[in-house]
Amino acid sequence: MADELDDWLGAFRRECGLRRVVILHGQMQDLVADTTQAGRWITARDAALQALSALGYSQVVSWDRVHGVSGVDERTWRALQAGAVHARAAAPPQSTAGEEYDLGEPAIPPRGAPTAVPRGAAGNSPGVSPQDFLATVAHHLRSGENGAPVAFVIDWSHYLFGSANNLSEAERGWLLQIGQATRDAPTDLRLQDLRRPQPLLVMVVDGALALPPQLHLNNPLFKGVAVPLPTRRERERTLLTLAHVFDVAPALQANSTALADMTDALDGLAMRDILNLARLSRQTGRMRPDALVALYRYGTRRSPWEELDRDKLVSARERLALRVKGQPQAIEAVNQVLVRAFTGLAGLQHSARQRTPKGVLFFVGPTGVGKTELAKALAQFIFGDEEACLRFDMSEFNHEHADQRLVGAPPGYVGYESGGQLTNAVKQRPFSLLLFDEIEKAHPRILDKFLQILEDGRLTDGKGETMSFSETMIVFTSNIGASQVDPEAVDVRAAFVERVREHFCHKLDRPELLGRIGESNIVPFNFIRSEDFLVDIARTKLTPLRQRLREKWGIEELRFQDEARALRAIVRQADPTAGGRGVPNAMMTHLFDPLSSFLFDNLAHPDDARGRVLQVMQAGDRAAFIFDLA
């Protein structure tokens, strides 16, 4: 039977025999399989209550601030409470804070001061105030009555206390009451009593940090037990149990590829999510398992990665080369990453479960050679939209606490409600290319976040929400070594790779990050020294120019007297140290600006040029313009 129980339940039973207070936290909103009835799911709290009864507790008494006491009838509760009342009456007067206080029931309670629950507020459950319940708990903890031990459970314990740094007088009294009772509880090591349950308090809370740390920190009488997300074995077992409910093709069968793939795809989801998936499957009709998971996770059944077919990938090199000139080796490296993602082998060197991003690339080279342009072209190719390239300028993250901008500030700090820029972006657009531009300018602390993304494919923001990066592609760009590498070196590519290795291993002392990226994914870019490449870059800028002239002015065609000669004249005016980045500036100065002046001077109305051809003639190094009939 032990094999059928979840690991956390085993830990819970063990700690109940050792501690005076067990803090049960984690996935408390989730469901677990009921071990007493097949095909039934119960809450994690109810599973814990079952475990307490099985341990031999005569009574398991639950309480929360709204519903009062449950698990026992009112007569039994009054009997339990009577012992605490008699003990308190017999005790000498004390002035310690928390032993004597009166909350009362003011019309408007002071901030942080909880009010008593009226009797009968929860149907037939006894309405019990916090101080009365805790007084009863404290008495039974101190008494050590092993003959008929009682387990007390405070549900939603995080609503019992306010901020740990701003506790009310009443809340401090409750902390003192619990702390003193656990400290004064008798310790009995007689052999005949060691296996008997001892009085216990269980505090059920969403997160362990929600309770004031002064209550439990470094206290051996307290122990936290986390309720985790379902394991892979539990997910697989649940899918098989619900196989008749899931309307998917191929069907979920034991030892099938479809079952294994769907089990892996549900990593990071709760048991309630799996049950919701079963319901969604029946509501939407038959579909592939991966499409069903995508619909549930991201609100769409269409995954751009699933739409990548072999015919499209065959044309990847040519389509990328239309926008990026003079970088055939870089385009070939990118194409290999696409093929790896298409065949399902991406990320397997780090995780057998394919939770990591679809691909990771590290573009390195001098400025203006097409690193950012290739990332945008890649986003356009995969996702059909250049806007899917989400760019982060890492020069803006060069201070120590800049990581809070990426993942959000922790609770209590300014900006907590806004979340993080990176996690928000991935939440809004899970299918995207993440471009981290000039990564070498980021503070080293930022790099620790990338370790988690590249290793686990997930990141938790300041609000505790976990984002998955498994549907993204990540591209880093860098100018590392651009000023040291000789453009005329025999092997420029090897020189860049060595500079990157030196930067991560020696300067940053982060060899593990380089290991996550993988040296095979470092893509050096060539220096652009050839005038022909610059002319090719300039030619790509003519297409949007022609389109704009047609849309705004109705100009049928922009025709050069000698296009090659005109473009060469323009690129010769570009800054040679800026690589391809100087070409757009030269185009603006020597073509766009003279053209805009010509249109402004000669066209009073857009219809004046509709249907006409605009001729561009060379007058030395300058361009001249004239209209011809179409």
Task: Spell out the domain ranges in the chain.
Answer: 2-227, 232-298, 310-524, 531-629
What pLDDT is attached to residue 196? 84
**310-524 is a CATH 3.40.50.2000 domain:** no
**Model pLDDT, residue 408:** 82
Helix (H) or strand (E) holding 175: helix 169-184
pLDDT-flagged residues of the chain (< 50)? 1-5, 93-124, 348-353, 630
Residue 222 near residue 20 (C-beta atoms within 8 A): yes
Structure tokens at 361: 């690339």
Helices marked H in 488-617 — which ranges? 492-502, 511-517, 531-540, 542-553, 563-571, 582-587, 593-602
User: How much is the pLDDT for 115?
Assistant: 36
H or E element at residue 515: helix 511-517
User: Does residue 571 contact residue 583 with C-beta atoms inside 8 Å?
Assistant: yes
Q: Which residue has the tokens 């998971």?
A: 293
Q: What whole-number distance in Å separates Cα of residue 29 and Cα of residue 206? A: 8
Q: Residue 84: what pLDDT?
A: 61
Rounded Cα gap, residues 372 and 492, in angstroms: 20
Using the 8-state DSSP alphabet, how is residue 351 labeled? -
- Who's near 11: CB < 8 A, 6+ residues apart? 225
The per-residue pLDDT for 106 is 33
Residue 572, pLDDT score:
84
pLDDT at 577: 65
CATH placement of domain 531-629: 1.10.8.60
Q: Could you tell me if 240 and 254 are in contact, meaning their C-beta atoms sit under 8 angstroms apart?
A: yes
Beta strand residue intervals within 49-149, DSSP E? 59-64, 68-70
Q: Does the predicted TM-score (pTM) go above 0.75? A: no
Alpha carbon distance, N-terminus to C-terminus of the chain? 86
Q: Kindly give the interhelix angle for 542-553 and 531-540, rounded to the nearest 10 degrees.
A: 20
Segments in 442-491 forming alpha helices (H): 444-456
Q: Can you list the alpha helix ranges (DSSP code H) found in 23-111?
A: 44-54, 74-90
**Residues paired with residue 218 on neighbouring β-strands, in sequence order:** none
Nearest to 429 by CA among 383, 460, 395: 383
Q: What is the pLDDT of residue 2?
A: 40
